Amino acid sequence: MGSENNETKEKPSKKNNSLIMELKKKIRALKTQRQTAIEASDKKTAIICRRRISKLKKKTRKAA
């Protein structure tokens, strides 16, 4: 019985892991871009970056 449960569980696919890693790379890049925008007092760009980061984080949680 115990072995049947292990077989039915889904294993994380390599495609999923690579997708998540790509999304996290984009998030890191956007965070640095947002930080430079904040330092340059560019509020509009900072807000755009923040929203993009938020969307990407949602995608990573959905993919996991």
Token representation of residue 51: 């929203």
1 in a structural domain: no
- Is the pTM here over 0.85, yes or no? no
20 in a structural domain: yes
Token representation of residue 13: 């696919």
9 in a structural domain: no
7 in a structural domain: no
Range of the domain at 23: 14-63
39 in a structural domain: yes
Q: Distance between CA atoms of 14 and 57, rounded to whole angstroms?
A: 19
pLDDT tens for the chain, 64 residues: list them.
555 555 555 565 677 889 999 999 999 999 999 999 999 999 999 999 999 999 999 999 998 8
Taking only Cα atoms into account, the Rg of the chain, rounded to an integer number of angstroms, comes to 18
Q: Distance between CA atoms of 17 and 7, rounded to whole angstroms?
A: 20
Give the number of domains in the chain: 1
23 in a structural domain: yes
